[in-house]
Amino acid sequence: MATESPDVPDPYPEFLAHVRRVSYLNDAGSVLGWDQQVTMPESGTPARSKQSAALSSVTHDLLTDERVGEWLDDLAEADLAADRRAVVREVRREHERAASVPEELVSEISETASNALPVWEQAKAEDDFEAFAPTLEEMVELKREYAAAIDPDRDPYAVLFEEYEPYLGLDTAERVLERLRDELVPLIEEVEASDVDLADPFPGEYDPDTQEKLVRTALDELGYNWERGRLDTAPHPFSTGTQFDARVTTRFDPADPLGALGSTIHEFGHATYTLGLPDDQYGTPLGESRDLSVHESQSRLWENHVGRSRAFAEYFTPRVNDHLATDVSPREFYEAANRIYPDNPIRVEADELTYHMHIILRFEIERDLISGDLDVSEVPAVWNDRMAEYLGVRPEGAGEGCLQDIHWTHGNFGYFPTYSLGSVLAAQLYASAAEEVGGLEEGIREGEFDALHEWLTENVHRHGCRYETDDLVREATGEAFTADHFLEYARRKFGDLYEL
């Protein structure tokens, strides 16, 4: 569709074949990652690290190949149709980022992260922040260099944030997170002050086989496409794959069957996004999912707006009772799924509401670390003070405080905000779906999820990376990215549950 003159060969097909190759190799790397976390025997690590590194390295070489720069320059001159323009835009961004960071710096970060892992694990186990501090300092410094290599003239934290969320802008993220902080802190205080005690009707222990049958039933009913997926267990649940093969993992805690159910539905949400990408665009940006906030919006939408809804409780509670041999009412299930407990200092165990305070805390600290406004040595004190301020809880040691997450050990500064942005977007998308799909809630009460799948596929999944994130949100919902819907949803739901 490029309107080149007939004498000049259209570079697009060769460019696209190269792009696909890079994408296929990236996906091969994901298969290695899945295997490592799900099936690989532990002693396989040394070989797997080398295989994954070799694969990353050839993929990086292909992405930064100078021919890619030449094709991009040629295509910048061409009169391309919208889809091709989107492909060129996405590849240019990836290429320029990859090409601007020296390979030695990439290797140094990767090596530092590898070496940091056991240091972090031990420091966490021993509540010993001092032992981890030099490593964290080194990583902060390296990531500053990384940001400067990409763009020395911009706020380094903004540059890092764009690695995970390129098209919303850090200013939008900051605005949204500040608003969440300002409005959720008082809401949480109200909840804490409430006399209402929500039901906690699963006091027993439920063996993993029983829980697995329950979560498989949930996946069946929600419409997981087993022909293009599978369920396994992993220490840290995740979802990965392509539109042809999008897998889900979960984990089972005997004392917490709702934990496994929620986590499975969360990963199912991620998988639905991947499975909704168009088959015929596999390997191109139009067949790839948008970035982390949008991905997280899909997992949170299914986990919270469906899985923790009253309608779903009415539909699914009999199945829970069948599997767990309990006698829980839909109301009790609904309450159990929505209990708020600010006194837990661990992010991954947090409830739907206080979760965001954990994120905001991390966001504030990592932004100040990267800018240099905060010294590494100050992290534990700031962390603990802010936990007390936001949630009224003070971690007993660094292990359940500032050392609890792996992200900084990996050098992932700028990642945390996307979790909350995902929740915010989930509420915005769900509100639009509810407005446009007649009887959405009534459907869920009957176990009818097709209409929601269709709306999400039509408005989000099938576009892949066609639109920049902010445009995708506007196309899907008719308005800019906003926290309005999330805050309204949270106030309504928890106001009702806690009789505020």
Bridging pattern class, strands 245-250 and 231-233: parallel
Query: Contacts with its own copies in 54-73 (CB under 8 A)?
Result: 54-55, 57-58, 62
Euclidean distance between CA atoms 209 and 252, whole angstroms: 9
Residue 205: what are its φ and ψ, rounded to 5°?
A: -115, 135
324 Cβ contact partners less than 8 Å away, ≥ 6 residues apart: 202, 204, 206, 210, 214, 257
- Measure the CA angle with vertex 18, ends 290 and 247; round to 5°: 45
With contacts defined by CB under 8 A, name the span among 46-54, 107-115, 327-335, 350-358 that binds its own copies: 46-54
Question: What DSSP designation does 338 have?
Answer: T
Minimum CB separation from its own copies for residue 27, in Å? 5
114 binds its own copies (CB under 8 A): no
Yes or no: say if 22 and 56 are a contact pair by the CB < 8 Å rule: no
The smaller minimum CB distance to its own copies, of residues 188 and 246, is found at: 246
Closest approach, Cβ 95 to its own copies, in A, equals 17
C-beta closer to its own copies: residue 57 or 329? 57
The one catalytic residue in 162, 267, 364, 468 is 267
Question: With binding defined as CB under 8 A, does residue 346 bind its own copies?
Answer: no
Q: Does 282 help bind its own copies (rule: CB under 8 A)?
A: yes
> What is the distance between the alpha carbons of residues 377 and 354, in angstroms, rounded to a whole number?
26
246, β-bridge pairs: 241
Does residue 267 contact residue 239 with C-beta atoms inside 8 Å? yes
**Whose Cβ is closer to its own copies: residue 281's or residue 354's?**
281
Q: Rounded to whole angstroms, how far apart are CA atoms 255 and 103?
A: 47
393 binds its own copies (CB under 8 A): no
Residue 403's closest CA among 111, 110, 132, 113?
A: 132
Site for its own copies in 190-249 (CB under 8 A): 226-230, 241-245, 247
Given the complex with its own copies, which of 27 and 108 has the nearer CB atom? 27
Q: Are 184 and 353 in contact (CB under 8 A)?
A: yes
Say whether residue 28 binds its own copies (CB under 8 A). yes
Number of residues interacting with its own copies: please give it, by CB under 8 A.
43
Give catalytic status of residue 267 as yes or no.
Answer: yes
The conformation of residue 424, written as its DSSP 8-state character, comes to H
Please say which residue, 279 or 435, places its beta carbon nearer to its own copies.
Answer: 279
> Is position 5 an interface residue for its own copies (rule: CB under 8 A)?
no
Residues identified as active-site: 267
* Residues making contact with its own copies (CB under 8 A): 20-21, 24-25, 27-28, 31-32, 34-35, 39-48, 50-55, 57-58, 62, 226-230, 241-245, 247, 279, 282-283
